A = this chain, B = another copy of it.
């Protein structure tokens, strides 16, 4: 099995690559080849098989065609710019988050014209396809009314994924990731970054800024859970999806205050005292339009799994990123 990962140099891309290297298989089929691509050179990997690392921007015409010419069996499309950047740079958002997906789908379809070809395509959508006002928990049939350009772009990709799958051009599965917390590494341009920052930084003795009120409720899953969603989506029996190919996956609905209390239980008052309240009106109003809770029945019925508590999410970060130890 040949796997193509688009967006392989990103946080999720790297973790996904590691997980696939470790398991060596997807759905019982041995992995024979990896093609790792991103706009920057993906890291070399230690794999007893064929590996290609390719610097490519699939949002540029012709790039997806080159990647698909090798006829990968399984494609993960993770490449995107985040919500804050897509809102600030309208052209770039549509190019990367929408045109990239369309070029990819078209490249797959055109490859299928040459000889039958129906790869599994796993696409990372987002809960930003939903916009306020929300019900208590967003069900599987709630409508898409995105309030950001990023959410609009992801909603369009979902529609394209459904149509290309329905027409038999691709075997698509989309997953609407919860906000991935705790994101390792440095803060990025995502307006949602603070949900991670207020835990990650204090866990290593650094200050962090909280731009919103503690009663803000949001929807979370760990990076480890995200990788589980992606590999599960790769193995899923898609005949169970019908033509609604994108799923809201399970997650944990919790408030910032509860996040902080979990931090206190795991790392004590010292860590919590490193969080500084610095209200940011721009972030406060963006967050007000974000989903807070889901009833992810379809995905749960299909075997997707997430964390049950924020203590668990923090422990996963300590295990996976901090070698099991709290610093500071």
Q: Report A's interface with B, CB cutoff 8 A.
A: 90, 109, 131, 141-147, 149, 152, 155-156, 159-160, 162-163, 166-167, 243-244
Contact = CB atoms under 8 A, between A and B. Distances in A.
B143 A143 contact: yes
B144 A163 contact: no
Contacts of A145: 162, 243-244
B143 A159 contact: no
B152 A159 contact: yes
B162 A159 contact: no
Contacts of A144: 143-144, 159
Q: Which of A109, A145, A147 is packed against the most chain B CB atoms within 10 Å?
A: A145
A159 B146 CA distance: 8
Nearest to A150: B163
26 contacts: A90-B109, A90-B167, A131-B243, A141-B143, A142-B143, A143-B143, A143-B144, A144-B144, A144-B159, A145-B243, A145-B244, A146-B159, A146-B162, A146-B163, A147-B166, A147-B243, A149-B163, A149-B167, A152-B159, A152-B160, A152-B162, A155-B159, A156-B156, A156-B159, A156-B160, A159-B159
Contacts of A147: 166, 243
Given A144-B144, A147-B243, 17 more contacts: A90-B167, A131-B243, A142-B143, A144-B159, A145-B162, A145-B243, A145-B244, A146-B163, A147-B166, A149-B163, A149-B167, A152-B159, A152-B163, A155-B159, A156-B156, A156-B159, A156-B160
Nearest to A163: B152
Contacts of A142: 143
Nearest to A147: B243
Contacts of A162: 145-146, 152
- 3 nearest A-B pairs in the assembled complex, by CB-CB distance: A152-B163, A143-B143, A152-B159
A226 to B, nearest CB: 25
A299 to B, nearest CB: 16
A101 to B, nearest CB: 12
Contacts of A167: 90, 149
Nearest to A139: B143
Contacts of A156: 156, 159-160
Contacts of A143: 141-144
Nearest to A129: B159
